[in-house]
Amino acid sequence: MSERLAIEFICGMGMPPDAFVRMAASLGVSRVGLSPHRITDNPHGFPDWDLRRDPALVKATKAALAETGVTLSQCEGFLIMPGTDVADAGPTMDLMADLGAPLVNTVLVEQDRARAIDQFAQLAEMAAERGLLASIEFMPLMWPANAGEALAVIEEAGAENGRLMLDAMHWYRSGATTADLRAIPADRIGYIQICDVPLLAGGAMSPEMMQAYGEEARHERLCPGDGDLPLADFIAALPHDVTVGLEIPMLSKAKAGINPADAMRPCVEAAWGLLVV
């Protein structure tokens, strides 16, 4: 199994975490990103689940991890939003740390910059207390819209354990180039996510693409090699010891009755080709 490759929970389209761990192992992938509860569409009709409220499921997930040798690569779901306080996420962070997650990821939905920076500082401190890294994932349609803005948040927060999560879709759709990766301090890169998508010349998006961005990111990404992203160059330009997570939700395939393992198999095979250095 590839020690560097991971599959993100969104690819399971609602699959419970214990089953998701076993699916990853069946595909030869030894790492998975998880969420503490189901926050995706559920076209396959899996039973609803929430690790925060189901000790039996936590036990089953630990058993699946132990039996397969799969480990957690990161945990999603720690959104910084208006009207919420990251301090309330302490029990969830304890749970994910107990499951072995080395990193917690956040998206700054909060657009009050001073509050967002303060909240990220608190999140990073909570993560550090548990021996975890805390990453920021930027998206080009809201602040922070690029790597520079996300790095500024980390620096202003004074987060020594703060890192960037670099999603190839968001990176190139933000107008950044592969050459721009050299400007990012290697020790601030905590995680890499890949997929494929169409991309217009120069990295620009049409108005139609911008309007549909969120829907595309959550539901319909492409297998590596089926779009326009220079993924081999992207991976080669980044630190070779950083986990590469496949974040490739394919809702249309799920609605067509294709199970997550069959949907992900060609993506895993394509990713292995990209990781050969």
Give the model's confidence band at 206: pLDDT under 50 very low, under 70 low, under 90 confident, else very high: low
How large is the angle between the packed helices 17-26 and 55-68, nearest 10 degrees?
A: 10
- pLDDT exceeds cutoff 70 at 105: yes
- pLDDT exceeds cutoff 50 at 1: no
DSSP class of 103: E
CA-wise closest residue to 6 among 27, 34, 32: 32
Cα 143 to Cα 43, 107, 138: the distances in Å are 31, 10, 7
Quick: pLDDT tens for 173-188.
888 999 999 999 999 9
- pLDDT exceeds cutoff 50 at 8: yes
- Confidence (pLDDT) at 117: 98
Which residues in the chain belong to E strands, given as ranges? 5-7, 31-34, 71-75, 103-106, 133-137, 162-167, 189-194, 244-246
117: CB partners within 8 A, 6+ apart:
153, 156, 157
Average pLDDT over residues 213-240: 93
CA–chain centroid gap for 88, Å, is 21
* Residue 68, φ and ψ in degrees, nearest 5: -100, -20
Identity of the residue numbered 122: Q
Average pLDDT over residues 112-121: 97
Average pLDDT over residues 121-148: 95
- Confidence (pLDDT) at 210: 60
For residue 42, the SS3 value is coil
Give the model's confidence band at 96: pLDDT under 50 very low, under 70 low, under 90 confident, else very high: very high
CA dist., res. 257 & res. 168, Å (int): 28
- pLDDT exceeds cutoff 90 at 73: yes
- Confidence (pLDDT) at 214: 81
Candidate from 8-17, 127-136, 139-148, 234-243 with smallest mean pLDDT: 139-148
- Confidence (pLDDT) at 207: 58
Inter-residue contact 87 to 127 (CB < 8 Å) = no
Q: In this structure, what token pair is assigned to residue 132? A: 């975890």
Average pLDDT over residues 11-32: 97
- Confidence (pLDDT) at 234: 97
CA dist., res. 177 & res. 179, Å (int): 5
pTM, two decimal places: 0.93
